[in-house]
Structure 1
């Protein structure tokens, strides 16, 4: 697809699928449209994609199940799209590993903005010089490489992170031992594409704790500051 971003769209509604595909393609995206999890698996086995747009209400395997297994096995951003507007559906989708969500009906322009934002967060950012390009945060034996968007544990193992999880960890590393409110974290990780759904930050913090903390139920690194927000309680060195 050349320099186009490649999108795998999973949507069983023909009218919506055609609308999304046409709009994204008219805005310079390459779109492959399938209607089920089984078809998605076939496409992922034969080609690489930059992002998945995933409807939750699908025939056969539902979108939440697809989101969980794909995010567990592949490093590819996922935006979930659902006709359900209840908070619980958004929370579950984020817990399953989605990077963002959008509730139907929506303006295609908003979907495009979210796709671009997620892709921007997922790509290594070019720096002004070689030293800046190799910037790494270190804390308590952990290493966070900004250019490679790579997280390495004290034992030397690479820890898989979704784009949203990495951005949240980056925000904490930039502000160690400082309380960050949910609004601040939303702005740091999602910017203008964020909605008012603060609980999404709680879900991301929980996911991050599962990967960083020895005991996520009693976290020592990412602490909850009651009525205020969250704080990375660790000295951070920038190399």
Structure 2
């Protein structure tokens, strides 16, 4: 195994600067999936479970949400919440260090509520309760994306090394072009954050500056009609 004294951030920055790095690129229709931007994970001053990498993360996510929404593309927000018994947390919630963090997030509790700084359009956006790391696991995310004829997934939220990475790997496995805006994902510590940005960029996704994603969306013209249930 090749050894290196470079930090995870240095390895990530070197890969980002590599002119030979290939991209998956954007496809015909994107969707935005915002992973677990709920108080338990976005309020460091209130909850020990929270994390923050870029203090403008939610601001950037909101801008993407408004752009996607204005072009008739799906905007999806996930959150984690469990039954009072915690049994729907499964084996994941049985480890001593995970049990308190996960099983304490109950449906309706402040920890489970999306951060009120998030620009959620309750009339049009999709809000989805997930229970495991990937937003695809035992949810209807896949069928929703198929219904909307999506081929590109823009993934934000946290944590970079946990639920974001799990969703990104599942996204690529389902043949979605997958985009991670760098400033829109976060983790508790720098090392896992940059190590996983590196790994996703190398294998599973295009990790891009949020400004580049905004530029694409500014010039994006919808290619299919947005499907809405008529009233």
> Higher RCO, 1 or 2 (CA under 8 Å, sep at least 6)?
2
TM-score, with length taken from structure 2: 0.36
